[in-house]
Structure 1
Amino acid sequence: MAETGLFIYGIVPSDVEPTSDAVGVGDPPGEIVAIRHGELAALASEVGLEEPMGRPADLTAYQMLLDGTAAVAPVLPVRFGTVVTGPDAVEDLLGAHHDRFAAALEEFEDRVQYTVHGRFDEQAVISEILAANPSAAALAEQVRGRPEAESREQRIRLGEMIGQVVELSREAENRELIDALTPYAVVHAPRQPSHELDAVNVAFLVRTDHEDDFVRVVEDFAEQRRDLIRMRLLGPLAPYDFVDADQLVG
């Protein structure tokens, strides 16, 4: 018989009940259960210890459960892939850190994460850079129509110039985004660029009674830059960027 363990998704207040349609990781997906200890509960599901984790479907199930939970109750996301031997191990974890986890959950009451991500439109940003920088425009003219091998040095220099301008523009856009949204967010967490053309990438912890204003300001910010930046607003989400998931099970 295959050995099994418990995959832990997150820690919630003890009165949280998994919905009947909640599904977990694995193939077939495991049933979500709440393992309680004192004022806390851990959302978990049974998985085979030999079963490979990390499929896109597993990550999606993990995120959907946590984001759905965050919409109705505070949740502390546990690092994806955390598996323990059984209910006793979960109860030991909750008991050992009960007061710390309870205090953290209180901090996230009525608060959710939104992530604002934007990427420069490549052609638009290059056109803007060339229009504003005669040196870059001259290099672009030198390489236009020439074989790559013959114009390698100029292409490298042009790429470096464009990269520097994009980096400075990214810093400025992130500052402006944070300034615009600070009145509507409890705290923010800048994120590393995920692409060389990233324009903004910041996570915000937002009170639920400020969500409408927060979203409105993001929409205004995006509209002002719609010809230059492709913006995405992700949320409401569980507070992934504001919880040290490794410390929860460390």
Structure 2
Amino acid sequence: MAVYVYSIVLTTHPQRLDGLDGVGDPPTTLRTVHTERLSAVVSDAPEELRPKRRDLGAHQAVQERLMADGTVLPLQFGFTTTDDEAVRAVLEDRADEFGERLRALEGCVEYHLKAAQDEDALLRQILQESDEARELNEAIRNGSGNPELPLALGELVSQEVQARQDQLAAGVLGALRGFAREERSSQATGNDFLNVSFLVDRDNEKSFLSEEQGLAKELGEDFDLRLLGPLPAYSFI
């Protein structure tokens, strides 16, 4: 039967799994696959596995339990392989790599931050601060028949939005990265101008959170900063 893999830890990790169930319906039983240096938490893989709430919760519960007792390399939901021997072979072949990454994550948690600015507020700001944008907007509102003006205004506003959001993202990153051991940025989508994960040492956690709260207050009500964490370090595996 195929094997579902949850996470990798050092063999010295307590690996307390009592009271936890694996993914699947009915739930599978958790077990560990050991080598001399590393252990993987696994279960039998259900024949049909979908990212349902119950299974996502079971996967996350394993990560959180292990994270509470030590450092963990959390695998993304849905990772499977052929059998326990295949898991053991990977642990042996990549022991140095996994060991190095576990050391890099020791004592750390992940925080994920997304940030957005209200579109109307941003547009008002551009029209107030850009003479060219304001003049184009006024010409359009006064009934200018020049069909090129709306296109010119749209292009100008788009450039201003990008420049301002890049500057905002750089400012937020600059304020927070000093409290993080590593960071991983991803493409922002929708109205967001920032999508980033921070690897934060537990010793810096309070300072990091305080700085993020200060940033949110400083930026004001036109901004939406959404911080998730502490999380298993999925982004830094």
Same fold (TM over 0.5): yes
2:198 to 188, 204, 228: 204
Root-mean-square deviation over aligned CA pairs: 2.8
Whole-Å separation in 2 of the counterparts to 1:60 and 1:159: 45
Q: Structure 1 residue 220 and structure 2 residue 217: aligned?
A: no
Match of 2:77 in 1: 80
Whole-Å separation in 1 of the counterparts to 2:201 and 2:163: 31
2:226 to 226, 232, 239: 232
Deviations 1:36-70 (A, max 9, x none): 22221112222223x04344654454345334533
Whole-Å separation in 1 of the counterparts to 2:60 and 2:148: 45
Whole-Å separation in 1 of the counterparts to 2:133 and 2:56: 43
**Structure 2: stretches of 5+ with no match in the other structure:** none
Whole-Å separation in 2 of the counterparts to 1:35 and 1:199: 42
Match of 1:170 in 2: 165
Match of 2:176 in 1: 181
Whole-Å separation in 2 of the counterparts to 1:96 and 1:81: 22
SS at match of 1:194: coil
Does the C-alpha gap of structure 1 residues 7 and 158 become closer, same or farther in structure 2, counting only changes over 3 Å? farther
Match of 1:9 in 2: 6
**Structure 1: stretches of 5+ with no match in the other structure:** 244-250
Q: Percent identity over the alignment?
A: 30
Deviations 1:58-83 (A, max 9, x none): 44543453345334321123343221
TM-score, structure 1 normalization: 0.80
Whole-Å separation in 2 of the counterparts to 1:12 and 1:106: 11
What number of residue pairs does the alignment pair up?
Answer: 235
TM-score, structure 2 normalization: 0.84
Preserved contact between residue 67 and residue 236 of structure 1 (Cα < 8 Å) = no
Question: Which amino acid in 2 is paired with 1:242?
Answer: F
Matches for 1:101-250 after TM superposition, within 5 Å: 101-140=98-137, 155-195=150-190, 197-243=191-237
Does the C-alpha gap of structure 1 residues 126 and 33 become closer, same or farther in structure 2, counting only changes over 3 Å? farther
